Chain A
Amino acid sequence: MNLFYLSSPSTFFHFAGRLAPWFFVLAAVLGATGLYVGLVQAPTDATQGEVYRVIFIHVPAAWMSMFIYFVMACYGAMALTFNSRLSAMMARALAPTGAMFTFVALWTGAFWGRPTWGTYWVWDARITSELVLLFLYLGYIALANAFEDPRRGDRAASLLAIVGIVNLPIIYFSVQWWNTLHQGSSVRLTGTSMHVTMLTGMLLMVFSFWMYAIGAALTRVRSIILERERRTRWVRALRPA
């Protein structure tokens, strides 16, 4: 198979259509298992009690918010470097899902912070830099849609995504660089301080959110391809599935 076979919007449209439902199914199965392990099987935390169970959505959502931004910026860089249409479309398709996960991370963090820290919000380095990430996503979406010519919007938004990537190490290392109210990482490449059942539930939710993000991005990119290519012969020959 040619290396660039899937870089054609028409080929990728059909490819994404075949894959997306399977990613949603995987997300549902992993999510249901993760929620069962997290809410039923995992023991109560010795210090935080039951409220720690917010971890099963807060941490996966926060990880996905950063990971999706990184992937989006990579697609943006590819779009600028190789002038590839599909990369820019994929970057656009990822942004709303990334913004949604960033919002979920901030929201669930607030409802975890209130019973544990005594406040919904504090201008802590980790939380503030995560809020900046949400603004970057919203800025990306606004900028991408601000131009009549979508290709100009792609270029401007891709540049913003690449510049904004500097925020990712700030979010990740903020708990080490500054004295923050937000706790440090419980999961590292070298090991974890978590109970194995808690870790299992959390990782299942991470993979569930990951599969969901891929399914959502593939579904959204199909709509973007249809909008952009609607004057082409291959789109006109299509019928709604």
Chain B
Amino acid sequence: MDHTFFLAMSYGATAIAIAAELVALALGRKRAWKHIDEERELEAQD
């Protein structure tokens, strides 16, 4: 039996899951800074 498919699906999915989490971490950081900038703008308007 050729096991390449099962190994590729396992390692491939793991790589995608880790990459997705790293992207989510970067997006979370970007979102946090965006909220801080919004607060700063509101404060400047006041």
Measured CB to CB, the residues of A under 8 A from B are: 49-51, 53-54, 57-58, 61, 96-97, 100, 103-104, 107-108, 111-112, 114-115, 212, 216, 219-220, 222-224, 226-227, 230-231, 235-236, 238, 240
Contact = CB atoms under 8 A, between A and B. Distances in A.
Interface in B1-35: 1, 3, 6-7, 9-11, 13-14, 17-18, 20-22, 24-25, 28-29, 31-33, 35
A111 B25 contact: no
Contacts, number: 80
A225 B10 CA distance: 34
Given A226-B33, A226-B36, A103 B3 contact: no
B25 A108 contact: no
A54 B40 CA distance: 49
Contacts of B39: 230-231, 236
Nearest to B36: A230
* Best-surrounded residue of B9, B22, B25 (most CB of chain A within 10 A): B25
A105 to B, nearest CB: 10
Given A220-B28, A222-B29, A236-B36, A100 B17 contact: yes
Given A223-B29, A226-B36, A104 B6 contact: no
Given A108-B13, A230-B35, A236-B36, A54 B6 contact: yes
